Amino acid sequence: MINKEMEKAINDQINAELYSAYLYLSMSAYFESISLKGFANWMRVQAMEEQTHVKRFYDYLLDRGGRVILSEIKAPPVEWDSPLAAFEHLLEHEQHVTSLINNLVDLAIRLKDHATNSFLKWFVDEQVEEEASADEIIQSLRLNENNPGGLFLIDKDLAQRTFVPPQDITI
């Protein structure tokens, strides 16, 4: 049986992961509205990844005898000043999610909840990848800030991203 404090913290994380998916869908819609379909695709795939994160937390909580309690998801922004501004927002958001994951690890350690601490290792590693991926795109956008043709090459590259569900998750 999972500790009630940890159960609440994981429910809060489920909400945060749902917000992430919602935010990335909003960013996808923004990119569609400015005819950057590759950027839109990248964000759509990112939203799908966030949904798998939700499922991991959801299933883990149930496996530990906890109760999933979904709460309201706030509306995300719908406009950004530029593709660069959108990706800078994405990186800032991912850094916030990293802090949330780190807080869960700290809680698991404090509660001596070794199972949850082990479970969270995947998310710690995932956040390193999430931040690095966003930063890589930001650096490409900065290098091409005054080169509209470069933006379209980045768009073409981002269009190649596909969603591959993790083998341990059924959707």
| d(C-alpha 9, C-alpha 3), whole Å | 10
CB of 37 closer than 8 Å to CB of 31? yes
Structural domain of 88 = 4-158
> Per the domain annotation, does 169 fall within a domain?
no
Would you tell me the crossing angle of helices 83-110 and 114-143 to the nearest 10 degrees?
A: 160
> Per the domain annotation, does 163 fall within a domain?
no
- What is the total count of domains within the chain? 1
pLDDT digit string, tens, across residues 28-74: 999 999 999 999 999 999 999 999 999 999 999 999 999 999 999 99
> Per the domain annotation, does 98 fall within a domain?
yes
> Per the domain annotation, does 166 fall within a domain?
no
pLDDT digit string, tens, across residues 66-100: 999 999 999 999 999 999 999 999 999 999 999 99
> Per the domain annotation, does 133 fall within a domain?
yes
Q: What is the CATH number of the domain that holds 134?
A: 1.20.1260.10
> Per the domain annotation, does 87 fall within a domain?
yes
